[in-house]
Amino acid sequence: MSFKAESHFNNEDSNTTNNPGIDEILEARLSRRRLFKGAGLAGAAVGASALTGCATGMGGGSGHSVGSLSFKAVAKHTSDKVVVPEGYTAQVLYALGDPLTASTPAFRNDGTDADFGNRAGDHHDGMEWFGLDAQGRPSRSAALRGLIAMNHEATTDEKLSSFFLHADGGTATLPRPAAEVDKELMIHGLSVVEVQSDGKRWAYQPDSPFNRRITTMTEAAIHGPARGSEHLVTRYDNTATRARGTLNNCGAGRTPWGSFVSGEENWFGYFFRDAKDDEARKNDKQVKGLVRYGRKAGAASRHGWESAGTADQYARWNNSASGASAKDDYRNEMNTFGYVVELDPYDGRSLLRKRTALGRMGHEN
């Protein structure tokens, strides 16, 4: 399948053949209006038959129509605030920088905050509910106490830096300061946070033993057909069974067995390639794969993390062949991303798992 690029750094074109992409096939067969019209008719038919069946089984229906709103619609407005229908309330529950341990200082939001490995990450995205009973045990029926597992997909960047994270908006040129990059590495990933309600308002629990962050630096286990592959060998792990972190997580879900799954989406834009990297790789098959994911030789990275120094946490974002073999550099680091990852939200000791059998792509699913 091929997809249109979202930006300079997310230039994925994984279909380099003359075959049509899925978007072209859909465009040729369905217009947006026909698609929704068909879905609406199908939904109405299914809904009507289901309701009829229920009514028959219960000895007759009420005759009332279904599908109408049970609240007064919100009027159009231009106010810079969240507006909800009458009788409803909206509140901030868990925001960027909120501490996840009792010892982590309150978020000052003035650019001086640190320790983001123990704080809420940025750009909350897909999330799922995992209930807890009064004794703190997993419960499918719990409605007032539970865990929220969520994605921290990306960060608001203006000219390289995470614009709202740093005191002066951050740097707009390379090389990036290590102090800025260290924060940005931590605000991507996942959160598991305990929340409770007293029946009126919700609050997250900053001292809960269930609270947990997964960042770009958290160890992960590789599972599935790619485990042990030579194409996932890195300086960090020569066996290709371990990797670090998760990145640009978008779609999310809950499995029937109670784990949290999350899809890595625009991961390829975070990696830099040297202008002479094709030659360094001797134009091997990996070059074609890199180009398909928008990483041509000389490709710049979204945030310039690789420029912050020679330490391992920065060097891994340089996807160039710089060592004697893949065991000596991070030419394969990008290959450790692009998967659906799985996490047990109830067990803070469990490793993040990369499920390579579910395919490698931009997972917005």
Q: What is the per-residue pLDDT for 69?
A: 78
Q: What is the per-residue pLDDT for 1?
A: 40
How crowded is the C-beta side of 150, counted as CA atoms within 13 Å? Answer: 21
Name residues whose C-beta falls within 8 Å of residue 321's C-beta, 6 or more positions apart in sequence.
277, 280, 281, 329, 331
Contacts 24+ apart (CB under 8 A), 161-166: 161/303, 162/122, 162/187, 162/303, 165/111, 165/122, 166/111
Q: What is the per-residue pLDDT for 35?
A: 53
Ranges of residues in the chain with a pLDDT under 50 are 1-7, 41-64
Spatial distance between the Cα atoms of 352 and 21, rounded to a whole number of angstroms = 32
Q: What is the per-residue pLDDT for 100?
A: 98
Element (H, E) at 324: none
Give residue-wise pLDDT tens across range 220-270.
Answer: 999 999 999 999 999 999 999 999 999 999 999 999 999 999 999 999 999
Spatial distance between the Cα atoms of 311 and 181, rounded to a whole number of angstroms = 12
Name residues whose C-beta falls within 8 Å of residue 7's C-beta, 6 or more positions apart in sequence.
269
Query: Are the CB atoms for 361 and 14 separated by under 8 Å?
Result: yes
Spatial distance between the Cα atoms of 195 and 20, rounded to a whole number of angstroms = 47
Q: What is the per-residue pLDDT for 105?
A: 97
Query: Are the CB atoms for 182 and 303 separated by under 8 Å?
Result: no
Strand partners, 219: 244
In the chain, how long is the greatest CA-to-CA distance?
77
Q: What are the extents of the domains in the chain?
A: 91-358
Q: What is the per-residue pLDDT for 52?
A: 37
Q: What is the per-residue pLDDT for 36?
A: 59
Give residue-wise pLDDT tens across range 79-127.
Answer: 999 999 999 999 999 999 999 999 999 999 999 999 999 999 999 999 9
Assign 299 to helix, strand or coil: coil
Q: What is the per-residue pLDDT for 28?
A: 74
Q: What is the per-residue pLDDT for 9?
A: 54
